[in-house]
Structure 1
Amino acid sequence: MAVRVGVLGATGAVGQRLIQLLDPHPEFEIAALTASASSAGKQYRQAAKWRVDSPIPEDVAEMTVTATDPDEVPDDVDLLFSSLPSSIGAEVEPAFCEAGYVMSSNSSNARMAEDVPLIIPEVNADHLELLEVQRDERGWDGAMVKNPNCSTITFVPTLAALEEFGLERVHVSTLQAVSGAGYDGVTSMEIIDNAIPYIGSEEEKLETESRKLLGEFDGAELSHDSVEVAASCNRISTLDGHLENVWVEAQEELTPEDAADAMEAYPSLDLRSSPDQLIHVFEEPDRPQPRLDRTLGGGMAISAGGFRESTFGLQYNCLAHNTMRGAAGASVLNGELLLENGYL
């Protein structure tokens, strides 16, 4: 029997991607859609300006959107996927957890809270046990899991593959697609024939979230990894797919061949949305590229290439589809992890 799920913020860009992924999902059944007060009471086809590259699912199109309020969501919904703006998520997500709902959230609020698991399942699935601490400390019957920022998700799996070499310092420069800013985030006059070398709060997210993801959970407390991370974030005019240039300094000798082998061997999982190969390694020096490689593994794989030695240690490039692997797909994968581990 499928798990009944709801989508908070269902009319937005990530909300639409969530619906695209959840509607055909054999383990989940969409049972609730929420949005702003202006959309509440409307059929979803009327409330959402559908922009995803596949038709709106007919059964979802006929559903009535409700307000984003625990009293408006049916009690028999077992799992909520949240794509709310962080300012709204910070207010309403705890209310849903207090009401007993389990939540897999893409919203950026509370990602760095000490008792909130920030999860990339292939990297730190064991951090899910932090939910026991969360429930004890907050008195919740529900629970909240977060996935990281889309740019963090792109490069942290590649770092996890290199941890055996003793990571000391990481420098990352991102070339981020416009879809990461949302439909109204960057105007055409801003981005065409241009690149924007600043994305508000993005650098801090890469620098802090990565250390939490690579940290250790001892059953009671999570300690962050000691690796030093410095980031520079840039918006470019690609539609989807975040490309990142990474420099790694390690305690042990780390050759391009060592890095490529470690990433190619890094395991995926058996979750429904897991790609067969988590990190696809290219031998070509000019790959990966957003237009060519963002849909590898159904948009859920990471790709890497351009490995070479540099003055600042190992250098390589990596890429992920930012609204699939980096957002909606990441939340769905965390939902599958919650299901597999008995939290639903």
Structure 2
Amino acid sequence: MINVGVLGATGAVGQRFVQLLSDHPWFNLQTLTASERSAGKSYCDAVNWRLDEPFPESAGEIIVKDTTVDCVKDLDLVFSALPADLAGGLETAIADAGVGVFSNASSHRMDVDVPLVVPEVNPDHLGLIDVQRDRGRDGFIVTNPNCSTIVMVMALNPIRNRSFSDVRVATMQAISGAGFQGVSAMEIYDNVVPYIGSEEKKMETEPLKIMGRLDGSVIQNAGFSVSASCHRVPVIDGHTLAIWADVKEEPDLIKDDFRNYRAPFSGLPTQPTKSIHFFDKEQDRPQPRLDRRRGDGMTVSVGRVREGLRFIAMGHNTIRGAAGASVMNAELAVSKKVL
């Protein structure tokens, strides 16, 4: 078994990490960290469990530690659910101390030697781990993208061999993406908020790195541009995206791409049977409430493919779009024997 820990284990994404790792066949969840006010308590006493999954009793008696390098330096891997303002320096120090860091935070996503990975889309980008090691780092950092970015690049992946240079996207993002305290009821009830801080910039830059080409030790960005407009809507879980791309082929050909798509590998514990679920006939799907838990929350659903090219994509933002993405990145790294 591979000994792992979760940084920031009491928050929304941290709880999702704990849920996914508590009975993982490859990873032994050994260490949980949080803020100073939670340190020293058992996890069951420190956390206000809010997920729609039973509390994992196997994690309940783990004593929560303050988030420091010393408390995780004996682990093989850590999963980071830290806020970006704390993650940058801590993740760097932990990786320098010889531990693999799989981060959901945005701090290192655009670092030139840090892979920004969605396993089905760019598994070869894990080669940047060797670049980090060649520069003297004993551990490494691997990041997963923003939650909406993941849904978008997953949905674009089946058609990436088609010619397109301009992608436009409008997001309808669930409130869980802002964390437990992120959006007040008075702000979101009976409302749509047409702004999410820094979200549009992430969606316009991260896909170019993810869908780019690893050329030796550097990523050559993909040759298309993205224009994004991001909105918070009164949905609990599940981000919905309306996507436009300047693909010239007929919709029937694009539908075949989605129908025939298969992931480039299989056998990872968190990997869904189908990475993409395509709604061929239903005009009113995907919908968050009906479709977010497909593939245990790891499947991205696509529908309403029309000329233009226009289509809808939807995925679970805290599973596929956050903790699940990071866990699957770690599984991919283990399968490629990079540890």
Give the TM-score range, shorter chain: over 0.9
Residue 34 of structure 2 corresponds to residue 39 of structure 1: no
The size of the alignment, in residue pairs, is 336
Q: Distance in 2 between matches of 1:107 and 1:265?
A: 33
For residue 320 of structure 1, report the CA deviation from its aligned partner.
0.3
Native 8 Å contact 2:240 2:315 kept in 1: yes
Native 8 Å contact 2:73 2:98 kept in 1: no
Residue 24 of structure 2 corresponds to residue 22 of structure 1: no
Q: Distance in 2 between matches of 1:167 and 1:189?
A: 41
For residue 53 of structure 1, report the CA deviation from its aligned partner.
1.4
Secondary structure at 1:144's aligned position in 2?
strand
Q: Which of 228, 234, 242 is equivalent to 1:237?
A: 234
Q: Distance in 1 between matches of 2:109 and 2:73?
A: 26
TM-score, L = length of structure 2: 0.97
Q: Distance in 2 between matches of 1:73 and 1:112?
A: 25
Residue 194 of structure 2 corresponds to residue 197 of structure 1: yes
**1:193-272 aligned within 5 A:** 193-250=190-247, 253-268=248-263, 269-270=265-266, 271-272=268-269
Secondary structure at 1:304's aligned position in 2?
strand
Cα deviation per residue 1:131-166 (whole Å; 9 max; x = unaligned)? Answer: 1112223x2100000000000001111212111111
Identity %: 50
Q: Distance in 2 between matches of 1:287 and 1:241?
A: 13
For residue 288 of structure 1, report the CA deviation from its aligned partner.
0.3
Structure 2 counterpart of 1:82: 80
Cα deviation per residue 1:238-273 (whole Å; 9 max; x = unaligned)? Answer: 0000000000103xx322222221123222231111
Structure 2 counterpart of 1:147: 144
Q: Distance in 1 between matches of 2:89 and 2:217?
A: 26
Cα deviation per residue 1:100-149 (whole Å; 9 max; x = unaligned)? Answer: 00011101111011110000000000000011112223x21000000000
TM-score, L = length of structure 1: 0.96
For residue 74 of structure 1, report the CA deviation from its aligned partner.
5.4
Q: Distance in 2 between matches of 1:262 and 1:112?
A: 30
Residue 311 of structure 2 corresponds to residue 316 of structure 1: yes
Q: Which of 297, 316, 321 is equivalent to 1:326?
A: 321
Amino acid at match of 1:44: Y
Residue 270 of structure 2 corresponds to residue 273 of structure 1: yes
Amino acid at match of 2:185: S
Native 8 Å contact 2:78 2:99 kept in 1: yes
Residue 335 of structure 2 corresponds to residue 335 of structure 1: no
Native 8 Å contact 1:120 1:334 kept in 2: yes
Secondary structure at 2:236's aligned position in 1?
coil
Native 8 Å contact 1:32 1:74 kept in 2: no
Q: Which aligned runs of 4 or more in structure 1 are off by greater than 3 angstroms?
A: none
Native 8 Å contact 2:73 2:94 kept in 1: no
For residue 321 of structure 1, report the CA deviation from its aligned partner.
0.4
Secondary structure at 1:71's aligned position in 2?
coil
For residue 55 of structure 1, report the CA deviation from its aligned partner.
2.2
Structure 1 stretches of 5 or more lacking a match?
none
Residue 168 of structure 2 corresponds to residue 171 of structure 1: yes
Cα deviation per residue 1:202-232 (whole Å; 9 max; x = unaligned)? Answer: 0010110011001000222111111011000
**1:110-189 aligned within 5 A:** 110-137=108-135, 139-189=136-186
Amino acid at match of 2:320: R
Native 8 Å contact 1:285 1:307 kept in 2: no
CA RMSD for the aligned pairs?
A: 1.0
Structure 2 stretches of 5 or more lacking a match?
none
